[in-house]
Structure 1
Amino acid sequence: MVAATSVGLATQSAQAAPQPTTAQLKSQLDQLNNASDQAVAAYDQAQAQQQALQHKVSILEDEIAREQAKANTLLDSVGAIAQSQYMTGAVDPTVQLILTSDPSEFLQKASSMNQLSGNEAAQLSLLRTQEDLLSREKAEAEQELQALQAVTQHAAALKAAAAAKVKATQQLLNSMTPSQRTQLTGGTGSNLHPHGTAGDSIEMAAFAAAKTRIGDPYNWGSKGPNEFDCSGLMQWAYAQAGYSLGPDTYAQMAEGTPVASVADLQIGDLVFFNGGQHVGMWAGGGIILHAPHTGAYVRMESITTVGTIYMMRHI
């Protein structure tokens, strides 16, 4: 009897657990969205650093290939000197050093002897300089490759962290009722009618393209044409206008001309929020068009609801 009563009390206790209020759910959702934005921004930065290092390594590899070709040409030239002397039966002792198994030893010894002609000595000096340059460039390339490997691993960890934050956000949304979800993620903002100063032809075309995506779902990492994250929507819209915009907020912040104040914004300008973690497109009248966050859809909404303005750019 006691056991049955205990079970009954436990069941009642479980059933009586209070459900979170809409305000509490909104607070949780806002925290998760902010955490997701931070994680995604950190990953984007690491990815940009990774791409920059990869580009630097590629340049070094190309330079090494060119310098190696020059060294090979010089080696062929020095070899021709040796062959010429061999044919005359008077192989110079210095030139004989070419046959050594250690090229660096050959270069060191040959440069310290004065039995070569001026042209031969010049060729050997060039070869030694070329070998030294190659050694330095190969060492630098090795350092950059090690840095690239570390950054790549870091970026992979950040990507996993960002994905986990997005997943947690989606799980919270899935736990809500349909009405709560609609209330907390907002609609498409299609009832807003912004007005403002027109941008140039590219910006206006980008804005017109972005408006056609209102109602499309947000999806982290998506660049369109039917799903977008915040920077993906900007990149896609500007691509429709014939302009190649960077793939993430940090690349996009480096493009165009700074805008001094909200009053100077033109339709189609990019507005960055919360330290560069989010980007939207100025629609005029205090409204931006953007892809907000997980669970929401491309929409227009008041700039005051998005976050702290970090930077504004005219493309």
Structure 2
Amino acid sequence: MTVHVATHRKPRQRSLSGSTARTAATLALAGAATATGFGGTGQAAPQLTPEQVRAKVDRLYQEAETATEKYDGAKERADAAGKRLRTLGDEAAHGQARLNAARDTLGSIAAAQYRDGGIDPTVQFLLSTDPRHYLEGAALAERAGVRQNAAVAGVRQELRKLDRLRSAARTELGSLRSRQAELRRQKKTITTKLDEARRLLARLTPQQRTATGEDGAAQRASRSAAGAAREALAAPRSAPAPTSRAAAAVAYAYAKLGSPYVWGATGPDAFDCSGLVQAAYRAAGIALPRTTYAQIGAGHRVSRSQLHPGDLVFFYSGISHVGIYVGGGQMIHAPNPSAPVRLAPVDQMPFAGATRVA
């Protein structure tokens, strides 16, 4: 019996093309990067300590507050552009009414001339049975001509005014749309930063949140109005403010202890940092700009050693945070979404400058 033994030929290997080889190498490197040890399991992201979480959250809050100040400024400019646009719209409506009236006047003159046939004054004189009556009529006709010229000039003037108003309105509309786009960008930045901060804080256990002070801030933020009033009464009062308006602003700030931080808010129940300052001085009869960048230039600058109650104190190199100095090295400010309006040491943050507005 003949036994046929199957022959096993080694298959010929195909060479890889350049792009295929690069793809294979990339996949191999990616696999190597995700494998650890002998088991080849994926490597988890390093676990942050509670202190690292707190530091990262603080940084996110600061970045969100910088974006909040930009949002506040853009909103102020958008509101101003909207107001100017409404004013221009009202002026244009009045201008259109004046134009219509001027056109009506011109139309009535033209209609009168048509009815009279537009006869030449010399012919009218020749045909007149009473030259004296003609001379009286000629004087009226001359006055009618002057009136017609004035009516034409009035129409042209109103047309030019209306054209300028419409051009200005188009410019303001473009400005408004630009500000609104900036508002959307800053709002997206703020919400992104705050969402990331919330995700980080959600990783901490209740014990870790307590250890980093997060739970304490949350509890303060959720106090009732009665609890906030008790804190205001218990808060230590230092030297009196040098002026009645500064004293009124400080009193307002004390009354708002415990109010929640809400970005873009100017009171009366919630605030961001510059919103609290603006509201406090508005209650004292002084109109301040909306943003920290503008508020620092609203009064005259004072050094840290010259601080009096009521002075505005600013922080960080970008002038992105502000509080109201109340004396004794303390200020009242709206910190961030994790903490309500509260007393805090001025040296808690990098000091950038101070301004006296009253």
TM-score (norm 2): 0.67
Q: Kindly tell me: are residues 176 and 252 of structure 1, through their superposed partners in 2, closer, same or farther at Cα, counting changes over 3 Å? A: same
8 Å contact from structure 2 (residues 72, 290) kept in 1 = no
8 Å contact from structure 1 (residues 46, 154) kept in 2 = yes
Q: Kindly tell me: are residues 170 and 181 of structure 1, through their superposed partners in 2, closer, same or farther at Cα, counting changes over 3 Å? A: same
1:203 and 2:231 matched: no
CA shift, 1:233, in A, is 2.8
* Alignment-derived partner of residue 23 in structure 1: 51
Q: Kindly tell me: are residues 230 and 180 of structure 1, through their superposed partners in 2, closer, same or farther at Cα, counting changes over 3 Å? A: farther
8 Å contact from structure 1 (residues 267, 283) kept in 2 = yes
Match of 1:268 among 306, 310, 313: 310
Q: Distance in 2 between matches of 1:30 and 1:46?
A: 24
Q: Kindly tell me: are residues 226 and 74 of structure 1, through their superposed partners in 2, closer, same or farther at Cα, counting changes over 3 Å? A: closer
CA shift, 1:127, in A, is 1.5
8 Å contact from structure 1 (residues 44, 250) kept in 2 = no
> Helix, strand or coil: the match of 1:72?
helix
Q: How does 1:176-191 map to 2 (within 5 A)?
A: 176-182=204-210, 183-185=212-214
8 Å contact from structure 2 (residues 72, 264) kept in 1 = no
Q: Kindly tell me: are residues 180 and 61 of structure 1, through their superposed partners in 2, closer, same or farther at Cα, counting changes over 3 Å? A: same
8 Å contact from structure 1 (residues 271, 313) kept in 2 = no
AA of the residue aligned to 1:297: P
* Alignment-derived partner of residue 111 in structure 2: 83
* Alignment-derived partner of residue 162 in structure 1: 190
CA shift, 1:90, in A, is 2.2
Q: How does 1:220-299 map to 2 (within 5 A)?
A: 220-238=263-281, 241=284, 248-249=291-292, 252-253=295-296, 255=298, 257-274=299-316, 275-299=318-342
1:144 and 2:179 matched: no
Q: Deviations over 1:45-70 (max 9, x none)?
A: 21122112112212222222232222
Q: Kindly tell me: are residues 119 and 131 of structure 1, through their superposed partners in 2, closer, same or farther at Cα, counting changes over 3 Å? A: same
> Helix, strand or coil: the match of 1:259?
strand
CA shift, 1:276, in A, is 3.5
Q: Distance in 2 between matches of 1:91 and 1:271?
A: 83
* Alignment-derived partner of residue 56 in structure 1: 84
Q: Kindly tell me: are residues 179 and 222 of structure 1, through their superposed partners in 2, closer, same or farther at Cα, counting changes over 3 Å? A: farther
Q: Deviations over 1:85-142 (max 9, x none)?
A: 12322289xxxxxxxxxxxxxxxxxxxxxxx823322321232122122112212211
CA shift, 1:13, in A, is 7.5
Q: How does 1:28-177 map to 2 (within 5 A)?
A: 28-90=56-118, 117-177=145-205
> Helix, strand or coil: the match of 2:331?
strand
Q: Distance in 2 between matches of 1:84 and 1:207?
A: 73
Aligned positions, number: 284
CA shift, 1:243, in A, is 5.7
CA shift, 1:224, in A, is 4.3
Q: Kindly tell me: are residues 215 and 60 of structure 1, through their superposed partners in 2, closer, same or farther at Cα, counting changes over 3 Å? A: closer
Q: Kindly tell me: are residues 172 and 194 of structure 1, through their superposed partners in 2, closer, same or farther at Cα, counting changes over 3 Å? A: farther
Unpaired segments ≥5 residues, structure 1: 1-5, 93-115
TM-score (norm 1): 0.75
Q: Deviations over 1:5-31 (max 9, x none)?
A: x9xx789986xx764224322321222
> Helix, strand or coil: the match of 1:117?
helix
Q: Kindly tell me: are residues 247 and 178 of structure 1, through their superposed partners in 2, closer, same or farther at Cα, counting changes over 3 Å? A: farther
Q: Kindly tell me: are residues 224 and 131 of structure 1, through their superposed partners in 2, closer, same or farther at Cα, counting changes over 3 Å? A: closer
Q: Distance in 2 between matches of 1:34 and 1:91?
A: 83
Q: Kindly tell me: are residues 216 and 133 of structure 1, through their superposed partners in 2, closer, same or farther at Cα, counting changes over 3 Å? A: closer
CA shift, 1:252, in A, is 4.5
Q: Distance in 1 between matches of 2:165 and 2:68?
A: 35
* Alignment-derived partner of residue 98 in structure 1: none
Q: Distance in 2 between matches of 1:302 and 1:215?
A: 16
Q: Deviations over 1:206-244 (max 9, x none)?
A: 322322333344332344455432233334444555666
RMSD: 3.4
Q: Distance in 2 between matches of 1:73 and 1:249?
A: 50
> Helix, strand or coil: the match of 1:280?
strand
AA of the residue aligned to 1:90: G
